[in-house]
Amino acid sequence: MSSAVERRRPPTAQQFVLEELRRAITTGELRPGGPIRQDTLAARLDVSRVPLREALKTLEAEGLVVHHVHRGYFVAELSLDDLEEIYRIRRLLETEAVRAALYRMPDGLADSLTRIQEEVERAARAGDVTAMADANRRFHFALVEASGMPRLVRLIATLWDATDAYRSLYYTERTHRELAVHEHRAVISAVTEGDEAAAVRSLDEHRDHAVAALREVLDLG
């Protein structure tokens, strides 16, 4: 087991396996539609099959994996309808979160977004897809968490978990990374000015562009 994996190990084996599997799926390390080889994973993570099975059941309930009788577990694939439904629900929930965030306008929100955006842009320039996907998520959640509505944030996080692997595919293209950088800057500008309508509009365009591009990336269109 690598030292990086060891550093990430939480208190219980089941929590550890769950977090590692979720990370591998959402970063694209385990690809959509790919098989989850339990013996290989158990050996790599240095755990028994018991916590691995429990973690897979949890991920199945979350929609991140699917189980086929006599074939085993596979990373879930999204149809175009699934993808569009998730992004449509995100639009509804994130709009509410952003409006609440700009109404509350906690101190330092724009500065926090700007700092995270610097990480987004460094990763974009370097072509580091994993780092960009991670920084991108932190950028968006810094904004929705400013809503002060933790239940809403948890719902949004579940939707993000279902599409993170696809978002990583999206960032493999340089033009997509550059577009995301431009769109994030527009969001920061709107937040700085306290312009709720502009922030919502910029985020709507950001999601719409991602869905349109993912149709081509996944050859779903």
- Same domain? For 112 and 18 the reply is no
Q: Which domain holds residue 202?
A: 80-217
Q: Residue 132: which of 120, 118, 142, 141 has the closest Cα?
A: 120
Distances (CA, A) of 34 to 75, 138, 171: 5, 27, 20
Which among 60, 75, 90 is the end of a domain? 75
| Rounded Cα gap, residues 149 and 196, in angstroms | 17
> In the predicted model, what is the mean pLDDT of residues 58-87?
87
Q: What are the tokens at 35?
A: 């098989």
At 98, the pLDDT band (50, 70, 90 cuts) reads very high
At 217, the pLDDT band (50, 70, 90 cuts) reads low
- Same domain? For 47 and 120 the reply is no
Q: Residue 166: which of 119, 206, 215, 116 has the closest Cα?
A: 215
DSSP letter (8 states) at residue 192: H
- Same domain? For 102 and 11 the reply is no
- Same domain? For 99 and 146 the reply is yes
Contact 24, 75 (CB under 8 A): no
pLDDT in tens, 113-170: 999 999 999 999 999 988 898 899 999 999 999 999 999 999 999 899 888 777 777 8
- Same domain? For 112 and 212 the reply is yes
Which among 22, 56, 75 is the end of a domain? 75
- Same domain? For 88 and 68 the reply is no
Does the predicted model carry a pTM greater than 0.85?
A: no
**In three state form, how does the secondary structure of 108-119 look?**
CHHHHHHHHHHH
- Same domain? For 96 and 191 the reply is yes
DSSP letter (8 states) at residue 218: T
Query: Domain count of the chain?
Result: 2
Phi, psi of 35 (to 5 degrees): -75, 150
Give the CATH number for residue 94: 1.20.120.530
pLDDT in tens, 36-55: 999 998 899 989 889 999 99
- Same domain? For 88 and 195 the reply is yes
Residue 92: count other Cβ atoms within 10 Å of its Cβ: 9
